[in-house]
Structure 1
Amino acid sequence: MTDWLVGLMESLGAPGAGLAIALENLFPPLPSEVILPLAGFTASQGDMDLVAVLVFTTLGSVIGALALYGVGALLGRDRTLAIAAKLPLVKIADIEKTEAWFQRHGRKTVFFGRMIPIFRSLISIPAGVERMPIMIFTLLTTAGSLIWNTLFVMAGYWLGEGWEVVETYVGIGTNVVIGIVALAIVVFVVVRLSERRKGRHASRR
């Protein structure tokens, strides 16, 4: 991964870092906690301009987010409901509650979601499904991404050859997020199965 990123930035410079971040939005397994500090370190060595790195990585974040927004917009509410109706344990009411929550808190979610591992990519899809005004979505995404990218690029810039320590600490945070999501899924499945069993017992009576 590091060799590929180094090669990309050696070939394209700051736009290469931006391309990597755009791909990271589309393919979350590509970790921004590696791309951004490495880009900052490269800038600290004089191989790339620091301002250009910040501009292109933020541009890459916005482009990747807009692509996923487009996926959500193409999917649309009706298709989302149709897919949800076919999923086991999922109720249409679940989607409607999520929809209502997003309508109330969507702007804060898009902004702060850009700074949460995993969600920073996925949040663009429901924004597209709900057809959040694209100008507002773009502005919130740009602002959130600029903060996230600046923190990690500057960390790599200041740490120099020790930039990899950023990946270690953020990796711990990512694992915590994954653990919370996994726990939430388990709780959801247990509760929904319990509701089904109670419903069956009630119908037999």
Structure 2
Amino acid sequence: MIEKLIAALAGFVIAVISRFQYVGIALLMAVESACVPLPSEIIMPFSGYLVSRGELKLWLVSLAGAVGCVIGSWLAYAIGAWGGRPLVERYGKYLLVSHRDLDLADRWFQRHGDITIFIGRLLPVVRTFIAFPAGVARMPLWRFTAYTFLGSLIWCWGLAWIGVKLGEHWDTLGVYFHRFDAVIVALIALGAGLYVWRHVRHARRA
């Protein structure tokens, strides 16, 4: 089932980039950064493959990907900033999210938001959703934009460069990243489990 889904996504990515080239890359990466799990591990390596064929330029491919990431992240950030916090404040108690948790998140992004966004843009799975909590915490937009662009540029360039080196075998990269995605998801699930356990224990004590 997963293999069929990945194959379908790969076909869609190939069609969009083959027709629209740099604009297609930016569009696809914007979708990926707007909390839609469209794998950049397919988008950028295929773009790198086209670079290896002389159809595209590596630096323009990387730039297009990074610009797309910023645009998509702005959308996710805006949703978090304008609609996310009121919803969390109203319904967060049902998800064990308190006002204290929101205040902690605000302080975290005030103190460590730069490095959080930068590193988050370099991690599979995390990079897709990191903009939303930054918006909820109202991280300064200019700093969010700068570190999103820098982290995304490195990510896009790295994947495209690998695609250049792999050539016609660019699609083999997705297999390895899929395994890494599973590790990231497991760690997130573990963190969520610890979070729920801590809140349930605190509620029982109260």
Q: TM-score, normalised by structure 1?
A: 0.87
SS at 2:19 equivalent: helix
What's the CA shift for 1:95? 2.2
CA distance in 1, matches of 2:66, 2:172: 22
Letter in 2 for 1:53: V
**TM norm structure 2:** 0.87
2:38 matched to 1:30? yes
Query: Runs of at least 4 residues of structure 1 off by over 6 A?
Result: none
> Which whole-Å CA distance do the structure 1 matches of 2:149 and 2:72 have between them?
11
Residue 197 of structure 1 deviates from its aligned partner by 3.7
User: Which residue does the alignment assign to 1:54?
Assistant: 62
- Alignment partner, residue 202 of structure 1: none
CA apart distance, 1:64: 0.6
Q: Given the alignment of the two structures, is residue 4 of structure 1 paired with residue 18 of structure 2, yes or no?
A: no
Provide closer, same or farther for how the CA distance between residues 102 and 135 of structure 1 changes in structure 2, counting only shifts above 3 A.
closer
Q: Using a 3 Å threshold, how does the CA distance of structure 1 residues 50 and 186 change in structure 2: closer, same or farther?
A: same
Show the 5 A alignment for 1:103-142.
103-142=110-149
Aligned: 1:159 with 2:169: no
Q: Deviations over 1:155-181 (max 9, x none)?
A: 001110121232122222111110011
Q: Deviations over 1:116-159 (max 9, x none)?
A: 12221222122222332222211111111001111100000111
Say what the alpha-carbon RMSD is for the aligned residues.
1.9
Give the aligned residue type for 2:50: T
Q: In the alignment, is residue 64 of structure 1 matched against residue 94 of structure 2? A: no
Q: Shift of residue 195 of structure 1? A: 3.5
Q: Deviations over 1:48-100 (max 9, x none)?
A: 23222112111111111111111122126455322323x24333222222222
> CA contact under 8 A between 1:62 and 1:141: conserved in structure 2?
yes
Q: What's the CA shift for 1:193? A: 2.8
Q: Are residues 76 and 157 of structure 1, via their aligned partners in 2, closer, same or farther at CA, if it must alter by over 3 Å? A: same
Count of aligned pairs between the two proteins: 198
Q: Residue 94 and residue 165 in structure 1: after superposition, are their counterparts in 2 closer, same or farther (change >3 A)?
A: same
**132, 146, 152: which one aligns with 1:145:** 152
Alpha-carbon distance in 2 for matches of 1:144, 1:34: 18
Letter in 2 for 1:8: V
Give the Cα–Cα distance (whole angstroms) in 2 for the partners of residues 71 and 12 of structure 1: 28
Deviation at 1:29, TM superposition (A): 2.0
Which secondary structure does the structure 2 equivalent of 1:163 belong to? Answer: helix
Alignment of 1:86-97 (within 5 A): 87-97=94-104
Partner of 2:192: 185
Identity %: 34
Could you tell me whether the CA contact under 8 Å between 1:43 and 1:157 is conserved in 2? yes
